[in-house]
């Protein structure tokens, strides 16, 4: 049985994961309208992944005797000055999510809820990957600078990242 404190904290994380999905969806829409098909597909894939993270939490809360809550979400920003700015926002958001997961782990230890602590380890590992991927993408964008040819290649390459990520996760 999950404690009320853990249930509330997990429900907050459910909201954060749902908002993450919406943020990536807004980024996908912006990129698609700008003709960045690879970036758009990458963001659509990330949006779905965040929704899957949310559902995993929902099922966990309900299975542990809690009640997962679906809450109101903040509308995400849907416009960016550049694709670089968009990826910088993505990286900042992933760091925020990591902090939130770390706080959840801390609460689970305070509450001596080792089942939740164990469950959250998957999220800890996932956030390490998410932050590393966002940093790598930003590094590539910084290498490109204002080179339109570089942007074309980046757009094509990031789509391959989506395909290879799906394949390595057994989703393809």
How do residues 45-88 score in pLDDT, each as one tens digit?
Answer: 999 999 999 999 999 999 999 999 999 999 999 999 998 999 99
Q: What is the pLDDT of residue 110?
A: 97
How do residues 11-20 score in pLDDT, each as one tens digit?
Answer: 999 999 999 9
Instruction: Provide the annotated binding site for Fe cation.
Output: 17, 50, 53, 94, 127
Instruction: Provide the annotated binding site.
Output: 17, 50, 53, 94, 127
C-alpha span between 29 and 45 (Å, rounded): 12
- Closest to 94 measured CA to CA, from 159, 30, 17, 166: 17
25-34 mean pLDDT? 97
Structure tokens at 53: 């993270």
Domains of the chain from N-terminus onward: 4-168 (1.20.1260.10)
| pTM, two decimal places | 0.90
């Amino acid at each position: 049985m999950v404690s009320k404190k853990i249930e509330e904290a997990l429900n907050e994380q459910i909201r954060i994961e749902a908002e993450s999905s919406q943020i990536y969806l807004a980024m996908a829409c912006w990129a698609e309208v700008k003709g960045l098909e690879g970036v758009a597909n990458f963001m659509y894939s990330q949006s779905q992944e965040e929704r899957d993270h949310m559902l995993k939490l929902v099922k966990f809360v309900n299975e542990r005797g809690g009640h997962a809550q679906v809450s109101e979400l903040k509308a995400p920003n849907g416009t960016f000055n550049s694709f670089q700015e968009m990826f910088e926002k993505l990286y900042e958001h992933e760091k925020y999510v990591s902090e939130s997961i770390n706080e959840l782990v801390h609460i689970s230890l305070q509450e001596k809820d080792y089942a939740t602590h164990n469950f959250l380890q998957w999220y800890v590992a996932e956030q390490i990957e998410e932050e590393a991927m966002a940093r790598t993408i930003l590094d590539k964008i910084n290498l490109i600078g204002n080179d339109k040819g570089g942007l074309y290649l980046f757009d094509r390459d990031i789509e391959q990242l989506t395909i290879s990520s799906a394949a390595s996760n057994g989703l393809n």
